[in-house]
Amino acid sequence: MVTKEKIVYGRDVFYVTSHSELLHDSSRIAEVRKNIQCGDMLIVKNVFDKKIIEQIKKYLTNVGQNSLPSYRNIEVGCPNFHRVNIWDKRSYVQACFHQFVFFPWNQDIFNLFDLVKEVYHVKNLISELPKNKFLSSEPEDGCIARLAFQFYPRGTGAMNKHCDPLDYHQLTVPILVMSKKGEDFVKGGVYVEKTDGEKIILDDIADVGDVIYFNAQTPHGVELIDPGYEIDWTSFQGRWMLLFAVNKLFNNNQIGNSVDLEI
C-alpha cells in the first residue's frame, strides 16, 4: 500500500506505444500500477485511428444538434443520453460542457464498448481488478462502465479543478484525446496540477488518438477553451474528449463523489 506521503501528483510522464505491451505482461502492469499510485502519468500513443474519432464526433454533433438534451441518473437499464451542463449547481463539480453518455446495457451503432475494450482491460488490471469487470450488461458491486464524451465549446467550455473518487472500482480514469490543440482550439485544455502547483496541459503533450492515465485523486480540470471567442453551442467548434469511466449506481452510497477544489 502506498502511503499518502509518497504521492507526488504529476511526478513524471511516461509513454507506451501500445496497450498490448501491457495487457500480456503482468509485471509491467504491476509497475504501471505502482507509478500511477505514486502520481505518475501514462500516455499510450495512437490507440484509436483519427478516422474513427472523426466519424464519432460527426455522429455526436448530429445527435447534439438535432435532439433535446436531458439528464438521467445512473440507474440499471437507463438509456444513453446527452446533456448540456452550464455551470449547473446540482453537479458535484462545476463545469460548462455538452456530454454524451453510453452504457454497456444499450447497443449503439459504433459498438463502442467493443471498440474500446482494451482501454477498460488496462484500466481494470491497473486497478487490480479482473479485466472485464463492469463491462457486462449487468452492474457489478454497484458500479457500471460508462463512456462519457465531453465537448467544450470555444469561448465557454471549462471544468473546475477537482479530484475523482479512488475506491474499489478504480485507480485511474483514462482520457482519450479527440481534438487537436492549435487546430480545433488554441487556448486552454485538460490539465493536471502537480503537487508543486505547476499545471501540465495534457493537450500540449498528447495527440489525437492517445489515451492518458493518471491517478483519479490528482487535481485536474479543463482550463477555459479559447477565452473571448464568440460562443456558439450549435457549431460544435471546440474541444472533445472521451472519459473511460466506471461509475457507482445512483443508490450506491459506498463510494464517495468527485470533489470540486474551487468551491
Could you list the residues that contact Fe ion (CB under 5 A)? 164
Q: Which residue's CB is nearer to Fe ion, number 164 or number 223?
A: 164
Q: Which residues contact 90 (CB under 8 A, 6 or more apart)?
A: none
d(CA 215, CA 236): 30
d(CA 123, CA 211): 11
Shortest CB 93 distance to Fe ion, Å: 7
CB 254 within 8 A of CB 160: no
The residue number whose beta carbon is nearest to Fe ion equals 164
Dihedral angle sign, alpha carbons of residues 251, 253, 258, 259: positive
Sole residue written with cell 495534457: 202
Shortest CB 8 distance to Fe ion, Å: 19
Q: Which residue's CB is nearer to Fe ion, number 164 or number 184?
A: 164
Q: Which residue's CB is nearer to Fe ion, number 133 or number 161?
A: 161
Shortest CB 229 distance to Fe ion, Å: 24
Shortest CB 173 distance to Fe ion, Å: 6
Cell numbers representing residue 251 in the block: 443508490
Q: Which residue's CB is nearer to Fe ion, number 92 or number 110?
A: 92
Q: Which residue's CB is nearer to Fe ion, number 164 or number 193?
A: 164
Shortest CB 92 distance to Fe ion, Å: 10
Contacts 24+ apart (CB under 8 A), 111-120: 112/147, 113/145, 113/147, 115/48, 115/52, 116/147, 116/242, 116/244, 118/19, 118/20, 118/23, 118/47, 119/19, 119/47, 119/174, 119/176, 119/211, 119/244, 120/145, 120/244
DSSP string, 168-206: TTBSB--EEE-S-BTTTBSS-EEEEE-TTS-EEEGGGT-
Q: Which residue's CB is nearer to Fe ion, number 215 or number 237?
A: 215
Shortest CB 232 distance to Fe ion, Å: 26
Cell numbers representing residue 86 in the block: 452550464
What residues are paired with 83 via a beta bridge?
99
Classify strands 175-177 and 158-163 as parallel, antiparallel or unpaired. unpaired
Shortest CB 164 distance to Fe ion, Å: 4
Q: Which residue's CB is nearer to Fe ion, number 37 or number 170?
A: 170
